[in-house]
Amino acid sequence: MKLLKKRVRSLLVQLYEEVELLPDDDLQQVGAVVESLYYDLYVLRFIQQANRSVKPGDSLTREEALRYLRSL
């Protein structure tokens, strides 16, 4: 993960340099892409945290969930 963070920081530096050269229309498109990536990384971080906190037996398998729902 540290390698990924280092690479992202490096790309951000390059991005800042390139942004200065872009016309306004292209900046709007870049903004939309960056916003989407930001939210993807945000969700990924929470998924990773959830995966670390879930222990065996904390969740049901599909079959167990269906059996439980049928018993209601």
pLDDT at position 1 is 72
Give the number of domains in the chain: 1
pLDDT band at 69 (very low <50, low <70, confident <90, very high): very high
Helix (H, G, I), strand (E, B) or coil at 59: coil
pLDDT band at 34 (very low <50, low <70, confident <90, very high): confident
Which residue type sits at 31? G
Q: Return the exposure string of 2-18: e unless at least 16 CB atoms fall within 10 Å of the residue's CB, then b.
A: eeeeeeeeeeeeeeeee
Q: Write out pLDDT tens, residues 46-68.
A: 989 888 887 777 788 889 989 99
d(CA 7, CA 61): 37
pLDDT at position 31 is 86
Sort residue 55 into left (φ over 0), alpha (ψ -120 to 50) or beta. beta
Range of the domain at 39: 2-71
